Homo-oligomer: A and B are copies of this chain.
Amino acid sequence: MTGFADLGYARVDTDREDRQGLPEIVYGPGKQPDEIVGIVSELLRRSTGPVLVTRVDPEVAEHVAERVDGAVHHPAARLLTWRPAPAGTFEVCVVTAGTADGPVAAEAEAVAAAIGLSTRLVRDVGVAGIHRLLAVREDLARADAVIVVAGMEAALASAVGGLVGSPVVAVPTSTGYGAALDGVTALLSMMTSCAAGLTVVNIDSGFSAAMAVHRLARTAARPR
C-alpha cells in the first residue's frame, strides 16, 4: 500500500483500486476545474475501472468534459463518469418517500450504475399511503440490497426495514422544513429505527449509499 501520485494540489490514491475495487472517486466541491481535469486524467491513466466526479455544477462539468475525453454528464445526479462498469448481477433497489427526494435518489442510482450495480428506482411510496409500499413489497424483497431515501420523519426506512430481510441503507434527506432541521431529524429517526439492522449514511448522500452497496456487492461476490 504505497502508491499515490503527487500532483501538488492533490495526492491521488492510486492504490485504492487494489484495496477497494474502485479508483478513488473525486469529490467536486472546493476544487478548481483544472484540478479536476488533472486528477481525472491521472486516475484514467493509473487505473482501469470507472472514474467519477460527484457534486459537480453544470459549468464545471462542461469545462471538464471538454478537456477529458469520454465523459458522460448526469445532470440530475450532478455526476460525471468515465469508463462506467458493465451492470453486474448484484441488484440494488432505490426507494424514495416522496418526489422531493428525487435528486438524492438520482445520485444514488447513477453512482451505483456507474460502478457496476444493477439498479431499480421506486418513487413516492411514503407511509402516508402505506398500500403504495405494500404493492411493491415483492420487488423490494427480491433486491439484493435496498437504499431508502427519505426526508422529514423518514418513517419509510423503518417500514422497509421491517418488510425485507436484505441490507437496507438509509439516506436521510434535507427535504422538509421547520422541525425537519435540514435533515437532522431524518438522520436521528433512521438511527433509532425499530427495524433491526438498518444502517445510515450522511444527509443527502446518495453517493455514500451507493458506495456502501458497492462494498456489500464485493463481499457477496466472494466465493463461499
Interface residues of A in 1-46 (CB under 8 A from B): 1-4, 8-11, 13, 15-16, 19-21, 24-25, 27, 29-31, 35
Q: Inside 8 A of A207's CB, which chain B residues have their CB?
A: 196
Which of these, B134, B155, B167, B199, contacts A153 with CB under 8 Å?
B155
Give how many copies assemble into the complex.
8
Whether A203 is near chain B, meaning CB under 8 Å from some CB there, is yes
Which of these, B128, B172, B195, contacts A194 with CB under 8 Å?
B128
Give the interface size bracket for A toward B. 35 or more
Whether A65 is near chain B, meaning CB under 8 Å from some CB there, is no
Which of these, B159, B166, B203, contacts A130 with CB under 8 Å?
B159
Whether A63 is near chain B, meaning CB under 8 Å from some CB there, is no
Does A124 contact B194, Cβ atoms closer than 8 Å? no
Least Cβ distance of A168 to chain B in Å?
Answer: 7
Does B178 contact A205, Cβ atoms closer than 8 Å? yes
Does A127 contact B159, Cβ atoms closer than 8 Å? yes
Whether A67 is near chain B, meaning CB under 8 Å from some CB there, is no
Does B135 contact A2, Cβ atoms closer than 8 Å? yes
Decide: A167 near B24, CB < 8 A? Known: A30-B175, A178-B202, A178-B205. Answer: no
